[in-house]
Amino acid sequence: MTHDEDRDKHGPDDRGHFGPYGGRYMPEALMAAIDELATFYDKARVDPDFVTEFERLLREYANRPSLLTEAPKFAEHAGGARIFLKREDLNHTGSHKINNVLGQALLTKRMGKKRVIAETGAGQHGVAAATACALLDLDCVVYMGEVDTQRQALNVARMKLLGAEVIPVKTGSRTLKDAINEALRDWVANVDDTHYLLGTAAGPHPFPMMVRNFHKVIGAEARAQMLDQVGRLPDVVAACVGGGSNAIGIFHGFLDDPSVRLVGLEPAGKGVDTDEHGATLTEGEPGILHGAFSYLLQDSDGQITEAYSISAGLDYPGVGPEHSYLKDIGRAEYRAVTDAEAMEALRLLSRTEGIIPAIESSHALAGALKLGQELGPDGVILVCLSGRGDKDMDTAARYFDLVGENA
Amino acid sequence: MSSLTQMFADCRAADRAALIGYLPAGFPTVEGSQQYLAAMLDAGCDLVEVGLPFSDPVMDGPTIQAAADTALRNGFRVRDLFTTVESISAAGGRAVVMTYWNPVHRYGVDAFARDLAAAGGLGLITPDLIPDEAEDWMAASTAHGLDRVFLVAPSSTEERISMTAAASSGFLYAASIMGVTGARDAVSSQAPQLVERTREHTTLPIGVGLGVRSGPQAAEVAAFADGVIVGSAFVNAVSSGEAAVRALAAELSSATHRTPVTA
C-alpha cells in the first residue's frame, strides 16, 4: 500500500480538502496534536510492520473478510432485483466500526499515548473503541449523549464491562454532536497523553482520510466478492450515511467503476418536511462544524440545528466532507429514508432472511427496496449491512409493540 | 495606526496592561448585554469582546456555554450582534467580536466584515479559524479595515506562532492554558513562557486569556502581557447584577497597573 494509493486521486489534497470541503477548522491548541497525528499516520500507513499488524488484527480478531450474502427472499420485495449484503454485522463487536478503531488504537500505541477518548451515538463506535482499548491496553473514556445512554443502555453496560468509562453528556441536544463537543473539550485539555479516536470519516484532516482508509477494506472485499460470487459488479451500492464512515469505505471500492451508482441513505426521521430528521446532504447547507467544512443542518444564522432519527447512530447534523464532495460532483447520490421505512425494512429482512439488521443499516435496506423497484428484475444491488440489530432490540420492541401486556 | 494599536500604545505609555472584558451579546438579553458591556467599559475595561452565541461552542467551558444557551433561548439573532456593537461604538467604546466561524460563513464573510465595520467594530477574534483556512477572512478584513486576532496556544510550534503572528493584526490572543474557557484558581505557568516565545516572532501586543478572574491574577498577567482578557468571571458577575460587573471591572482594572498607583 503506497502513500499515493492511500491518499489516492480521489483526494484529499495535502491540506485535507476534497474540493472545497474538509480542511482544518480547529482551535490552534489542537493543531500540534493534529499535525502529530498526520505525521504518524503518514509513516504508519507505508510501514509494512503497521500494515501487517493491522491486517492480522482484522483477520484474526475482527473476523474479516466479512461475508457477502445474497438476500433473495428480501429481494422479492424489491421488484425482483438481486440484492447482496456485505455482512459487516458479522464483524467482532457487530459493526464496521471495528476496522477504524483497530487502526487508530494501533496508531495511538505508536504515538506513545496511553489514553483514548471517543464519542458515540448508538454505542457501536463506543463499544468498538472500548474493545480495541481493552485489547491494546489503553485507557478509554467514551462520551455519550445522555439521551443516547438511555436509548442504548445495554451498550453502556458493554462499554463498562470492557473497562471503559462512559461519561453521559448533558449539554445541548444531549446526543452525538454534543458528545463530540465534549470529547473535543477533553482533548484540548489532555492532548499530551490522549488520542481522540474519532468514530466517523468527519472532523479535521487527517481524520476523514484516515478513517476512510481504515474502512476501505469493506469496499475492496465487496468488489472482489461480487466478481467472484456473482461474476459482475453491482449496478448500485447502497449504504446508510450518518457521519458516513461505512458508506465511504464501501464506496471507495467502486469509485473507479463508472457503471456503479453509489447511493447514500440518510435518515429522514419523521419526514424531511418536518423539523425532525437528520438528512444533512439532502436538506442541509455547507458550513463548519467539528473541524471541517461540509454539509450541515443549520438555521439562517448558522446555528447548528438538532438532528433527529429513530437511529441513535444517524442523528448527526453534519456529515463527512468527502460525501459533500461526492454529492457536488455527482459521483454519489443521497436520498432520505424515514423512520417508518427503515423499521419496515428491518422487520422484513428479519423475517425473510433471518438477519436482524441495525436500524442504521435498515436505512440502506429501505433504500435498496426502492432502488430495486427502479432498476427492475435485471438490477443487482449491493447493500452495506453495516451493523447488527441486537443493540436496537429495545427500540424495535417498543416500535413494534413486541413486549409487555399488548404483545 | 488602528484603534487597537493606539489603545495598546496608550496603555504601554501608562505602564499598564489593557483590560479586555468578554460578554456574549444577547446575554442575558440583548438589552441586558448592552447595559453590562457599557458598564464594563465605564468601570475600567479598555476593550470589550462581544461574543456571538453559538450552538456548539467547543472551546468554551460550562459558564460560557450556559450563557450562550441563555442568549439563544432568549431569541438572540446575528443581527443583534451588530446593534450591540453599535451601542458600544456610538458611546465611544471599543469592541471586537469573538465568534466561532460558522455563523460568519453563513452570513457571508465579506458581508459580516462590512456590517461589523459599519457598526464600529474593530475586528474579530476567531477561536476555531486558523490562518491556514482564513483566505476569505484575510481578504474581507483588509477590505473593511478590521483587525484579525488569531490565537496561539502553549502547544503551538515556533513555526505556527510565527505564521499566526504574521497573519494577525491589532493583537494576538495567547491562550494561557491547554483547555477551554473558565475561571481558574491560579494563572497557568505556561502563560509567561508562551508570551515570551511569541515575542520572538512579533512586535504585536499580546493579550492573555483563559482562566483569569481576580485582581491578583490580573496583576500577575499584566506583568508579562500587554492585555489581560477576562471572560467567564464577567459572565458569572452578571448573575449578581450591574454593581458586581462594575466592581469586577474596577478591581481588574486597578490590577493592570504595573507600577502601583500612589494616592
Q: What is the DSSP string of B237-255?
A: HHTT-HHHHHHHHHHHHHH
A361 catalytic residue (yes or no)? no
Q: What is the reported pLDDT for A247?
A: 98
Classify the phi-psi angles of B179: left when phi > 0, otherwise alpha if psi is within -120 to 50, otherwise beta.
Answer: left
Q: A190: which chain B residues are within 8 Å (Cβ-Cβ)?
A: 178
When pLDDT is cut at 50, 70 and 90, the band that residue B185 belongs to is confident
pLDDT (average), residues B39-57 = 97
10 Å Cβ neighbour count for A114? 13
Question: Number of Cβ pairs closer than 8 Å across A and B?
Answer: 115
Among B58, B130, B153, select the one facing A185 at the smallest CB separation: B58
- Cell numbers 515570551: residue: B196
Compute the mean pLDDT over every residue in chain B, rounded to the nearest whole number.
Answer: 95
Identify the pLDDT of residue B260: 60
The answer to whether A259 touches A235, Cβ cutoff 8 Å, is yes
User: Distance between CA B46 and CA B21 in Å, rounded?
Assistant: 8
- Partner residue opposite A32 with nearest CB, options B55, B129, B156: B156
Predicted ipTM beyond 0.90: yes
When pLDDT is cut at 50, 70 and 90, the band that residue B261 belongs to is low
pLDDT at A3: 43
pLDDT in tens, B130-175: 999 999 999 999 999 999 999 999 999 999 999 999 999 999 999 9
pTM above 0.90, yes or no: yes
Dmax (CA) of chain A: 60
What mean pLDDT do residues B176-198 have?
A: 85
Query: Which residues in chain B are contacts of A287 at CB distance < 8 A?
Result: 102, 105-106
A38 touches chain B (CB under 8 A): no
Residue with cell 449491512: A385
Q: Judge whether A97 counts as a catalytic residue.
A: yes
Q: Is A368 on the interface with B (CB under 8 A)?
A: no
Choose among A132, A156, A154, A134: nearest CA to A144. A156
Q: DSSP class of residue B132?
A: G
B82, B30 Cβ separation under 8 angstroms: no
Tell whether A289 is within 8 A of chain B (Cβ).
yes
Which residue, among A258, A249, A236, A313, has the nearest Cα to A103 in the 3D structure? A249
pLDDT of res. A154: 87
Q: Which residues of chain A have pLDDT under 50?
A: 1-4
Chain B residues with CB inside 8 Å of A305's CB?
Answer: 55
Report helix angle A339-353 to A359-375, nearest 10. 90
CA distance B222 to chain A (A): 22
Asked if A29 and B175 come within 8 Å (Cβ–Cβ), the reply is: yes
> Which residue is it, cell 432498476?
A375
pLDDT at B259 over 80: no
Which residue in B224, B261, B245, B205 sits closest to B44, CA to CA? B245
Name chain B contacts of A171, Cβ cutoff 8 Å.
62, 65
Q: How many CA atoms lie within 13 A of B115 on its CB side?
A: 15
Q: Of these residues, A97, A216, A370, A391, which one is catalytic?
A: A97
The stretch B190-216 carries a mean pLDDT of 94
Catalytic, A386? Answer yes
Closest Cα of chain B to A186: distance in Å? 8
CB within 8 Å: B61 and A15: no
Which among A32, A189, A296 has the least Cβ separation from residue B157? A32
